[in-house]
């Protein structure tokens, strides 16, 4: 019986382009904010966060029907883990493909943002982001993101993901000390922007570890709240459209 999900190549393209545009939105709006409000960090953060909320919401609507609009390796990994026993969600090989597409797309998005603002295409950030408070902030931001996504999928409200996910990220920009990176692909990509939105390479490993821990916390929490959450894993972030293709395009692990 053919799998109703879009072909893997289409899904990887959607994840690559979607993550790239997300990073371009995050970094580009950070650069613009830095230029528009050079003396006001709070206003810079406001400009950056509002733009990210709007951009992320639109990108989920555009790419969600093709790939689910994960744009985030930990989201894809949780989709795989929760769906394994029920035959839903991504396969193990799909997760690796998604993660590669997200990271490559994210780096390309950082380069694009640099070029749009007449900056050197390849930069390395010198903005250090380290300390227990920031790491706890990343755990909270990522746990909340996973909980929102899976709870909506479990309760049949995945169609609200564009607004809900964007709203969570926007709120977490302000109430977490780390300003809510909550995404290993975006974190790695932001190394290549020596601007307001950048992060020093030496700060990246701890951020990514905190994000992985946050994803585990969020998955455990939402599974405890909704014990049959794995059955809805195929709707993370939003369900892909029903487009017949060869069964081999989305094999289950």
The label of the residue with tokens 């019986």 reads: 1
Global pTM reads: 0.89
In a domain, 253, yes or no: no
Q: What is the model's pLDDT at position 246?
A: 35
Q: What domain range is 103 assigned to? A: 8-238
Q: Which candidate, 81, 107, 72, 97, places its Cα nearest to that of 7?
A: 97
3-state helix, strand, coil in the chain (%, to 5): 70, 0, 30
Residue 87 has what pLDDT? 72
pLDDT value of residue 2: 43
Distances (CA, A) of 37 to 26, 43, 172, 226: 16, 7, 21, 44
Say which DSSP state 192 is in.
G
Contact 176, 138 (CB under 8 A): yes
Q: What is the pLDDT of residue 241?
A: 58
Q: What is the pLDDT of residue 232?
A: 60
Tell me the two tokens of residue 102: 């997200």
| Any domain includes 53 | yes
User: What's 30's domain CATH number?
Assistant: 1.20.1080.10
Position 1 in a domain: no
Count of Cβ atoms closer than 10 Å to residue 117 Cβ:
15
Q: Is residue 247 part of a domain?
A: no
108, part of any domain: yes
- The reported pLDDT for the residue numbered 243 is 38
How many whole angstroms separate alpha carbon 174 and alpha carbon 241? 34
Distance, CA of 226 to CA of 195 (rounded, Å): 41
Residue 252 has what pLDDT?
Answer: 34
In this structure, is residue 251 part of a structural domain? no
116 within domain boundaries: yes
pLDDT per residue, tens digit, the chain (253 aa), is 444 567 999 999 999 999 999 999 999 999 999 999 999 999 999 999 999 999 999 999 999 999 999 999 999 999 999 888 677 778 899 999 999 999 999 999 999 999 999 999 999 999 999 999 999 999 999 999 999 999 998 888 888 999 999 999 999 999 999 999 999 999 999 999 999 899 999 999 999 999 999 999 999 999 899 886 556 655 666 666 543 333 333 333 3
In a domain, 244, yes or no: no
Burial of 246 (0-12, 13-18, 19+ CB in 10 A): exposed
Q: What is the DSSP letter of 90?
A: -
What's the pLDDT at 227?
Answer: 82
Phi/psi at 33 (5° precision): -65, -40
Structurally, the chain folds into a number of domains equal to: 1
The two structure tokens encoding residue 20: 């790239």
């Amino acid at each position: 019986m053919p799998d109703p999900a879009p072909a893997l190549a289409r899904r990887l393209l959607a994840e690559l382009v979607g993550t790239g545009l997300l990073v371009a939105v995050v970094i580009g709006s950070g650069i613009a904010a830095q230029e528009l409000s050079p003396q006001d960090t709070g206003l810079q953060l406001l400009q950056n966060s509002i733009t990210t909320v709007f951009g992320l919401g639109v990108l989920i609507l555009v790419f969600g029907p093709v790939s689910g609009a994960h744009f985030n390796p930990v989201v894809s990994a949780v989709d795989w883990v929760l769906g394994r026993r029920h035959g839903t969600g991504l396969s193990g090989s799909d997760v690796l493909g998604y993660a590669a597409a997200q990271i490559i797309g994210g780096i390309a998005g950082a380069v694009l943002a640099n070029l749009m603002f007449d900056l050197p295409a390849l930069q390395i950030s010198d903005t250090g982001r380290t300390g227990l408070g920031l790491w706890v902030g990343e755990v909270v931001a990522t746990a909340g993101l996973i909980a929102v996504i899976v709870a909506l999928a479990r309760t049949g409200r995945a169609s609200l993901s564009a607004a809900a996910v964007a709203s969570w990220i926007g709120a977490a920009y302000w109430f977490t000390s780390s300003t809510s990176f909550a995404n290993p692909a975006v974190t790695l990509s932001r190394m290549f922007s020596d601007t307001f939105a950048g992060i020093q390479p030496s700060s990246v490993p701890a951020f990514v570890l905190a994000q992985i821990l946050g994803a585990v916390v969020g998955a455990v929490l939402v599974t405890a709240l909704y014990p049959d959450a794995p059955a809805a894993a195929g709707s993370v972030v939003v369900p892909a459209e029903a487009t017949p293709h060869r069964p081999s395009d989305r094999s289950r692990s």
